[in-house]
Amino acid sequence: MLARIYEKQGHLADALQIYETHLQKDPKNRELKEAVIRLRRINTKALKYFMEMHNEEQFLKFEKWLAKSWN
């Protein structure tokens, strides 16, 4: 699925949009539900961390968190 490719490449907003579209067509699909929840959580937390960064140390912490979240 294209959404998985986008997600692995870091295009989370595009991946989320695709997952949500497919979920509307198949609302009982567990894999799609989990993907949507996962990406919404990453997007929300990423924005929070990003807005709170004020120095290089915080940026490096954010970068590590983001890499961990994608794997």
Domains of the chain, residue spans: 2-70
Share of the chain above pLDDT 90, in %: 38
Q: Say which DSSP state 26 is in.
A: -
Give the amino acid at 36.
V
Q: Where are the alpha helices (DSSP H) in 26-55?
A: 30-52
Q: What is the pLDDT averaged over residues 2-17?
A: 88
Q: pTM of the full predicted structure?
A: 0.64
In whole angstroms, give the CA distance from residue 14 to residue 6: 7
Q: Do 7 and 39 touch, CB atoms closer than 8 A? A: yes
pLDDT at 70: 64
Q: What is the pLDDT averaged over residues 5-14?
A: 85
Q: How many CB atoms lie within 10 A of CB 63?
A: 12
